[in-house]
Each structure stands twice: as C-alpha cells, then as structure tokens.
A and B are shown apart, each in its own frame.
Chain A
Amino acid sequence: MNRTQLLSAASTIAVLSLAAAAPAMAQTKFEFWYGLSGDLSEKVQEMCSRFNASQADYEIVCVSQENYENNLQNTIAAFRANKQPTVTQISDGGVVDLMLSGAFLPVKQLMEDNGYNIDWSNYNSGVASYFSTSTGELLAMPFNNSTAMFYYDTDALAAVGFEGVPETWEQVEDAARKLKEAGYSCPIAMDPTGNWQWWEQFSAIHNVPIASNGNGYGGLDAEVLFNQGKFVDQLAFYKRMFDEGLMVHKSKAAGQTANEAFIAGDCNMTSSSIADHGTFSTQKKGNWQVAMLPIWEGTVRQNSLVGGAALWTLKGKSAEEYKGAAAFYNFIAQPEQAQHWSTITGYIPVTVSGFEAMKAAGFYDKAPYKGRELAIESLLYTPAGEYTRGVRLGNFGAVRQEVIKAMQSVIFDNADPQAALDEAAARSNEILRKFEQTYAGQKLP
C-alpha cells in the first residue's frame, strides 16, 4: 500500500464515520425561491420555519431573490442550467412565458398525485382565474395575492378641512390642492415605475382594455390598446398634477420610495399594494386610512386586478422533492396558516372560507386590520369581466417597461402624452409579435 492509497482509505473511513453520525432519518431538502424582501421576506422565512417545525420529513430552504423580476431571471437561469428550485414564486408579469414553457407541474395534478385533497372551488375566483388555463385548470398554488389600494393620511387631510374618503380623482385632486395651499410639500407620492397601481389597475376599474383579445386572454395575437381614450387623459392628468406640485416623484433613484415617504409623513397620500398594509401598520405613526383606488366621477367602478404571485412547481426534480412541495402547499392551504399569513402581511386570504372566517371572527372590525376588507371588496366589486380579470401578454415585463418609459418621458421630459403612448404601443406590439414568433404555432393553455 503506498501513501496515496493509505490517504484515500483514511479519508473514506472519516467520511463514513461522519455519515454514520448524521441523524438516521434522512430529511428531504428542497428549495423555494421567492421575490420579496425586507419586512415581507422575514414573514416568508417565518412561514418556512413553521413548516419545518411542523413535520420531520421535509426541510424547505427558502431563498429571497429580492424582487419578482430578479426571481424570474434567476429561476430561468437556474432552470436552463438544471439547478432550479423545486418551488418558485412567479408574479403576474411572468405568467404567460411560464405557461408556454411547459417547465412546470400543474399544482392540481401535483396535489392529486401526492394524495392531498384540496377544495379548489374554495379559492377566490379572481385569484384562481389568473393562474388557471382557459379551461379552468389551476396551474400554480395561490400564495400571496393582493390588489392596489389608495392610502391617505387622515391627520393631514383633516387639518386642511378635507373630511371623508377620497373616492374619486376629483376628490383626490381637491384634497391635494388644499394640502398644497396649506404648505404641505408633497400631497401625493407617485413613482411612474409603479405602473401596476397607477396604470393597469386604473384600466381595470374603469373597464378600459389594455390589449385586444380580452387583454390577451383570447390568444397570442393580441395588440395593446393603451394609447387610446382614457389612458391619454389619465397620463395628461398625472402630468398636470406633477406640474402643479400636487404629485411628487418618489423612487429608489430619488433617494426615498413612495412608501417610505408616506411612512415618514413626508407625503400625505400614495397608492400601493394591500400587502403593504401590514408594514404601514407597524411603521407609520399618526392616523391613516386605506381606500379603494379613486375613479373618475361619472364612471362605473369595476373590480380591480389581482396582483401578487403564485407558487409554481418546476419540472426536473425528484419524486421525494415533489412530495415535500405538496406537503408545503398543503401546509399553507390550512385555514389557520392561511389566516396567520394574511394577518402578518396584508395579503388577502386567498380562499373564500378563509375570508368569511376572518370576517366572522371580527378580524376586520378594529385597528390595525380595519380597512383590509376593502381589498376583497375591490377585487369582488363586480364579477371579473373581459378587461378586469387580468392581463395575459407575452414578455409582459418588457411591455411594462415601455409604459414606464412613456409615463416618465411625459412627466419628466414634457413629451406629448399621445405621442409618447403611441410610441410605447408600437414598441409593445413589436415585442408581442416577436413573442408570438418565438412560440410560433403554440396556443395559450
């Protein structure tokens, strides 16, 4: 026996003894990547450790990828390198690309295969339809769902003599004007990159189409329509609000985000996801309220769009890992877990029975949770119609960037609203046509 053989023998023995020292019961580890950070990320981690503590067979490893966009990018890169997590959180913007990729296992099938019986009809219809095929088969596990809301500082508004709820844009403008006259420097915090709340939700509650084919649900040959009618007026309105100092630009690049400005009391009104209700409750001092998004007088309010994300199970993992994923989904579907999750964040309860139970228990009657029921009310305001059930466009992330650029060029660089939106629409249609070519011959499931 020479030296190398001796060494390798010794190291083999060492490894074997280490392995023997490990716990006899082998746990199945699987990864879950998500796109939340800060406060919400901590809440996800808490959820994960509760799952790990609740059973001994599986260990979920939860990894934050900062935001939905990064998570989508990183998941794709990992999937292409065959290093994908078992579970990933993909938001509305990435749904179509994933649907056509065939890179996932439909959640319904996964749960059935692993012997879990979930009452899918119990899921909030708006949430379920966003992540379902056209025939109603649910593809991903609803997890953190929300809608956009309007937040306002009641102390500041009362101080300038504005009473009641700012329900219409006319009232919002009136309140903002009173605040400005009274010396408040930032009545409304607005970030044009938040086009989900300032643009897409606006389209839904006013029932104006973002794209033809029923916002893309009817097929990949949809064309965007956001350069027409109310959209142009709305962008011109935002521009006027900026010019009069009633809206103020707040963003990461400006050094303070709109939410931070609202929490700090630097700005008195803003629009954001209901998911931030929990964060505002714990961090904002003084009195504030949440309301449904403002509409224009003379228009009929429609239901708002579902936001947030669902959990997708990716292909290419072992049966054991899928068992673990199914166990995790089953865990978060339990009424008490779902309620806990909704309580600590602000995300809506995704099941009908969950919402009814929370309502019956008086959860929404008092602070700090009062007001959150408005999100459900907003989502269920009318039955989801052709232009209020969601947006199903390929490479939607890129289309969103075009809208953001149009909004920024109008607000920052004084571009003409119609011209800016026309260009954004032309470019968006090019993106959609290229996407259609890339998936030539395929149809939305």
Chain B
Amino acid sequence: MERRAVYRNKVLPWMLLGPQLILVLVFFYWPTSQALYWAFTLEQPWGGGNLWAGLDNFLYIFRDNRYWGTVLRSAFYAMCTTGLSMLVALTLASFVDRALKGTKIFQSVFIWPYAIAAPAAGVAFRFIFSPEAGLVGGINEIWPGIWDPSTNGIQALGMVIICHAWLGIGYNFVFFLAALQMIPRSISEAGAMDGARPLQRMFDLQLPLIAPTAFFLLIMNIISSFTDSFGLIDTMTEGGPVGQTEVMVYKIYVDGFKGLDYSGAAAQSIVLMLLVIGLTFIQFKWVERRVHYN
C-alpha cells in the first residue's frame, strides 16, 4: 500500500525544482557539453576556432602509455586512500561506539579533519613531510637522505595518499559510528551473553550488519579519490617529481591548463566522467537495494 503525495498545481513543482535545476545546468550540463564538444575537435587555446577531429583525441590518449600509467596510479591511489581511510575510521568508530571514557569528546574530535579544505591540509602536510625542516624530516638526521619526497616519486605518492586518507577519516567515521549505533543493542548483548568477545562480536555481528554502509562509503571514497585529489596534489607535489604523483584528474589539469591542450584534456575529462558515472551507477544499483534492513 503506497501513499503518494501529488502536486495539483503544475507550476509549483517546477518552481521548487528551479534553483537546483539551474545550478545543475549551469555548473554541470553546460561545462560537460563544452567538454564533449572539445573532446571531438581540436580547440584553439585562445578560442577563435576549432576543427573536427573525430575520435583522434581519444585514440591519442588511449595509445599513450603515460596515460595508462596515470590510470593505474589513480587505481592504486584509490585503493590505498580508501582502504586506509576506512580502516582507521572503522577502528575509531568501534572504539567510540563502545562508550568508553571521553566518548562524547572523541565523537566530535574525529570529525574535524573533514572540515579542513584539501589545499590547507596540503600546505600543513607539506611542512610536516618536508625533508629539511619537517617532523618526518627528522629521520634524515639519523639516516641522511633517506626521506626526500621532492626527488623520490614513491615517497611523494605515499605522502599524498596518507594526507588524502587522513582527510577522509572524519567523513567515514561519522557514517560508521551512525551505522554502529543503529544496530539494536540487544543483538550485541545477546552475543555477549553467549560468550562472544568484543572482537568476535565485531566480526560476526557488527560488520555484516553495517555492510551496506561500508559499501556506500567504499564507492564514495573511490569517487572522492578520483576527483578530490587535485587540491592536495597541487599544493603538495604539483604532480612531480617526474610526474609520479600525476593521477587522472591532475593530468587533465596539467595537459589542459599548463599545456594548453584543451582537446586532449577534454577527452580525458570525458573518460574520467564515464568512470565516475559507472561507479555511481553501481552504488545506486546495489546500495539502494540493500540499504533497507528490516
């Protein structure tokens, strides 16, 4: 038995939707249509003309092994940031959920990182990880030259991943905590009475019950790692050294704005957009179906 509210007025719903629709049109559909057009043409950087290029721009990036390197790096980046961030958030959330001393304080403290803008965090972390003056740089006093993300690409990538994961902890924490607290106490208590230790209750009861939330977070984190990494990378490494921290979104910026190759960057944007749409589709298809647990 479904009850539906229906607007009798034909104009009112459109007026209510209007502001949102205009925002989406101006900030999403308009730029997307431009990017789509550029992706199939050769666009002059200063405007003033373009030539139809067909699929050339796409073929160009798909033939480029550096582009595939960027794709692999983005996948690695997504896996590491998502895994790290969710694992730490889940650990913190399960501690907070156990109602230990000071829980109330930690509930809010752990959310703070989410309130920090990525570029600001990037600047702060650049100092923390600075090889000469930073906190981590102290290691160079013991083993000189062992830590230098300005020349070592692997260290630079690791540094950005840690920072990205740290930023996401707050967001993940809130969802995990809410999910844990939605589990009826009686279930945990019943488990406890049957002799299950906290860790066992965690794995056998709580984790399966919060799986839909975890899945939702997984998708959100992956999408965030694809799109939100720009601010961090731009402030921390600018894609370097030797392009070893260039992920897909940063390569779009480098090629388009620094290299003035608008068409190549537009083609890459379309690929990235399709990827994010795909992930969103998966999320709706799976999560929407499983999120109700009665």
Contact = CB atoms under 8 A, between A and B. Distances in A.
Interface of A: 69, 73, 76, 79-80, 97-98, 100-103, 249, 251, 253-256, 395, 397-398, 401, 405, 408-409, 411-413, 427, 431, 434, 437-440
12 contacts: A79-B46, A102-B48, A253-B241, A254-B148, A255-B134, A395-B259, A398-B261, A408-B151, A408-B241, A408-B242, A409-B242, A438-B42
A440 B66 CA distance: 26
Contacts of B200: none
B133 interface: yes
Given A98-B46, A253-B149, A255-B150, A405 B243 contact: yes
A199 B258 CA distance: 20
Interface in B121-179: 130-134, 148-153
Contacts of B254: 401
B259 A101 contact: no
A211 B150 CA distance: 30
A420 B53 CA distance: 30
B69 interface: no
Given A255-B131, A397-B258, A398-B259, A412 B44 contact: no
A440 B240 CA distance: 33
Interface class of chain A by DSSP: helix
Interface in B252-294: 254-255, 257-261, 263-264
A256 to B, nearest CB: 7
Contacts of A395: 45, 259-261
Contacts of A254: 131-132, 148, 150-151
Given A73-B257, A434-B261, A103 B241 contact: no
B280 to A, nearest CB: 29
B260 A97 contact: yes
Max chain A Cβ within 10 angstroms of own Cβ: one of B42, B60, B243, B260: B260
B44 A101 contact: yes
B46 A438 contact: no
B229 interface: no
Contacts of A434: 42, 60, 261, 264
A73 B241 contact: no
The number of chain B residues touching the other chain, given as a range, is 35 or more
Nearest to B243: A405
A103 to B, nearest CB: 5
Nearest to A98: B46
B145 to A, nearest CB: 10
A413 B258 contact: no
Q: Which 10 pairs, one residue from A and one from B, show the smallest C-beta to C-beta distance?
A: A101-B46, A398-B259, A253-B150, A254-B150, A412-B151, A438-B42, A255-B130, A408-B242, A255-B132, A409-B242
Contacts of A412: 151-153, 241-242
Interface string B46-66: 111011010000001000001
B153 A401 contact: no
B64 to A, nearest CB: 9
Given A255-B131, A408-B240, 18 more contacts: A76-B45, A98-B46, A101-B44, A103-B46, A253-B149, A253-B238, A255-B132, A395-B45, A398-B260, A408-B241, A409-B242, A413-B153, A431-B259, A434-B60, A434-B261, A434-B264, A438-B42, A438-B44
B57 to A, nearest CB: 9
Contacts of B85: none
B40 to A, nearest CB: 14
Contacts of B134: 255
Contacts of A413: 153, 242
A334 B131 CA distance: 48
Contact of A439 (B44, B149, B243): B44
Contacts of B258: 69, 73, 397-398, 401
Interface in B228-261: 237-238, 240-243, 254-255, 257-261
A254 B127 CA distance: 10
